[in-house]
Chains A and B, each alone.
Chain A
Amino acid sequence: MQKTPLHAWHTAHQGKMVPFAGWEMPVQYASGILAEHEQTRNRAALFDICHMGEFLVSGADAEAALGRIVTHNLAKLRQGMAGYGFLLNAQGGILDDLILYRLQPDQFLLVVNASRIAHDRDWIRGLLPSSVTLEDVSEQTAKIDLQGPLALETLNRVLPDTWHEMPFFSFRRTRFQGTDILVSRTGYTGELGYEIYLPTSSALAFWEACLEDEHVRPAGLGARDTLRLEMGLPLYGQDLDEHHTPAEAGYTSLLSSPASYVGKEHQLRVRERLVPLLIPGRRSVRHGDAVVSVAGDLVGRVTSGSFAPSLGQAVALAYIDDQHTEIPEFVVKTGRAELAAQRTTLPFYTQGTARIKV
């Protein structure tokens, strides 16, 4: 089990450690998932995301070469901007979702899921020409997410310069205690927030510097999951997998790249669609639960489900057979109960501050 540079801090501060994608990570602290969720929505929280993977892809032909591998529209991705997209297999299935940063005209930072680091590294290297290199910098790179409406105040205090007027999905390089770091206005919570990439040796100092603000508290992967689900943001391995295309996951509008990338011919194939469901009441449905029509026919499966703390009721994402996605009402069989579910639209939580002008 791998440990992040903040592992000792978590255990010293009542972090409840659980295995996640080969890493021992805090699922919550003593305050609990609900308090950490509320903290993020209303003030600011820090998340240890050091388990995620980072690759540097460099070379004179990097844009053209990567453009044949990822769905991102690299011709439109300016230096200083990041974009969300996918790695597809030849059948159009999603091998991973990733954020790609244009560091230089011919250098990109790719941020991938922890469970997919080895796979993605091998997959991408296998498709790159010899003139373009992929360096896996995951081990020396720490990632800390500072998320919440008060995140900007903390960033302004901890780092040089002002961090106002930074557009959503833009990034900047700066220095923290003499070390080069990268800060992007991105996140996985739906709130105003930043993702900070820095050397592992600086992670603890940055973490503790942020926590000097009383309005900042640590939050674990449990709150990260309820926060992202309330926004309808997918989790790889649950809501996204190699058996489903970007169109099935609801990301057709993202597929604007003119390049001929792997899987493009099949990316719009739709057999099922990821459908957001509201479950009236507090009882949750869970990953794998069957979704049936009111007539009782099996029409789909829940991929993510939880009590949504900001809504006070349960929500879910489910893949539903395409011919049934227009039905407004379903029933989810949880094993203990059969719960009514209503089709709704995303995001579930509509008060998020992620895109506000600051």
Chain B
Amino acid sequence: MIPDDLLYTSSHEWVRLSDQDALIGITDFAQCQLGDITFIELPSTGDTVTQGHEMGSIESVKAASELNSPVSGTVLEVNAELDGAPEKINQDPYGAGWMIRVRLSESPKGLLSPEEYKPLAECSE
């Protein structure tokens, strides 16, 4: 499941660009690899994030990993629902499982098109 109106990173984040903003989450492949997500740590509104740098972390029953920001800018909004219900990321990674909205400080470079991302995301399930 790779929506064709999003851009991607090789570390399995997705980005929805609109004007000056970017909505960010992790891909269906990423949530599938992690399994049931039990904890998420995200930046706060007003924080600065930098493309390719760690912006938070995510844990499942069996694994823990860092989240990298696919863009640079200032965090405008954080999906507060994920704190108590991180399973939304498993259930709806491109919708209710969105993570943060960022006001871009520069245009992101090197994001992958759906066609470029697809070979990186062959999920076994």
Contact with A along B85-119 (1 / 0, CB 8 A): 01100100000000000000000000000000000
- Residue pair B64, A286 in contact (C-beta under 8 Å): yes
Stretch of A28-36, A137-145, A238-246 that contacts chain B: A28-36
Q: Do the beta carbons of A34 and B125 come within 8 Å of each other? A: no
Q: Are A282 and B38 in contact (CB under 8 A)?
A: yes
Nearest A-chain residue to B66, judged by Cβ: A336
> A351 in the interface, Cβ–Cβ < 8 Å?
no
Known: A283-B41, A307-B38. A226 touches B125 (CB 8 A): no
Q: Which residues of B in the span 46-64 have a Cβ within 8 Å of any Cβ on A? A: 57, 59, 61-62, 64
Shortest B38–chain A CB gap in Å is 4
The verdict on A307 contacting B61 (CB below 8 Å), with A32-B35, A33-B35 known, is yes
Of the candidates B35, B41, B86, which one forms a contact with A222 in the assembled complex, judged by CB atoms under 8 Å apart? B35
CA distance A133 to B89 in the complex (A): 55
Residues of A close to B38: CB separation below 8 A: 34, 282, 284, 307
| Across-interface contacts of B124 in A (CB, < 8 A) | 16
Judge whether A34 and B62 touch: CB under 8 Å.
Answer: no
- A87 vs B38: C-alpha distance in the bound complex, in angstroms? 36
Chain A: minimal CB distance from B124 (Å):
7
Knowing A34-B61, A286-B64 touch, does A28 contact B39 (C-beta < 8 A)?
no
B77 sits at the interface (CB 8 A): no
CA distance A309 to B87 in the complex (A): 12
Nearest residue, chain B, Cβ from A27: B62
Report B18-65 residues with CB < 8 Å from chain A CB: 35-36, 38-39, 41, 57, 59, 61-62, 64
Interface SS of B by simple majority: mixed
**B35 engages A284 (CB within 8 Å):** no
Complex: how many Å from CA A310 to CA B90?
19
> Given A14-B125, A16-B125, are A283 and B59 neighbors across the interface (CB < 8 Å)?
yes
Task: Let me know if A71 is at the binding interface, CB within 8 A.
Answer: no
A27, A30, A284: most-surrounded residue (chain B CB, <10 A): A284
Q: Across the interface, do A282 and B64 meet the contact criterion of CB distance under 8 Å?
A: no
Closest chain B residue to A33 by CB distance?
Answer: B61
Q: Which residue of A lies closest to B33 (CB)?
A: A16
Residue interface mask A34-51, B partner, CB < 8 A = 1 = 110000000000000000
- Closest chain-B Cβ to A37's Cβ sits at a distance in Å of 8
Q: Which size class do A's interface residues fall under?
A: 20 to 34
Complex: how many Å from CA A224 to CA B54?
A: 33
Taking CB atoms and an 8 Å cut-off, the chain A residues in 267-302 that contact chain B are 281-284, 286
Checking A14, A281, A306, A336 against B61 with a beta-carbon cut-off of 8 angstroms, the contacting residue is A306
Q: A50 CB to closest chain B CB, in angstroms?
A: 21
B59–A28 touching, CB < 8 Å: no
Q: How far is the CA of A281 from the CA of B35 in the complex (A)?
A: 19
Report B-chain residues with C-beta under 8 Å of the C-beta of A336: 57, 64, 66
> Which A residues are in CB contact (< 8 Å) with B41?
283
Given contacts A283-B41, A336-B57, contact A28 B64 (CB under 8 A): no
Q: B66 contacts which chain A residues (CB < 8 A)?
A: 336
B87 surroundings in chain A (CB, below 8 A):
34
Interchain CB contact under 8 A, A307 and B35: no
Cα separation A77 to B36 with both chains bound (whole Å): 42
Interface string of A180-220 (1 = CB under 8 A from B): 00000000000000000000000000000000000000000
Q: Which of B39, B61, B62 contacts A283 (CB 8 A)?
A: B39
Task: Find chain B residues with CB under 8 A from A283 CB.
Answer: 39, 41, 59
Cα A309 to Cα B86 with chains together (Å): 13
B65 shortest CB reach to chain A, Å: 10
Q: Identify which of A14, A33, A284 contacts B36 (C-beta below 8 A).
A: A33
Cβ of B36 and Cβ of A34 under 8 Å apart?
yes
Contacting residue for A32 out of B36, B39, B57, B86, CB 8 A = B36
Q: Which 4 A-B pairs have the closest CB atoms?
A: A307-B38, A282-B39, A34-B36, A33-B61
Question: Could you list 24 A-B pairs, sorted by A, with CB under 8 Å?
Answer: A14-B125, A16-B35, A28-B35, A30-B125, A32-B90, A33-B35, A33-B36, A33-B62, A34-B38, A34-B61, A35-B36, A222-B35, A222-B62, A281-B39, A282-B38, A282-B86, A283-B39, A283-B41, A283-B59, A284-B64, A286-B64, A307-B39, A309-B61, A336-B64
Known contacts A34-B61, A306-B61, then 19 further A-B pairs from the complex at CB < 8 Å, ordered by chain A residue: A16-B125, A27-B62, A28-B35, A30-B125, A32-B35, A33-B35, A33-B62, A34-B38, A222-B35, A222-B61, A222-B62, A282-B38, A282-B59, A282-B86, A283-B41, A284-B39, A307-B39, A307-B59, A336-B66
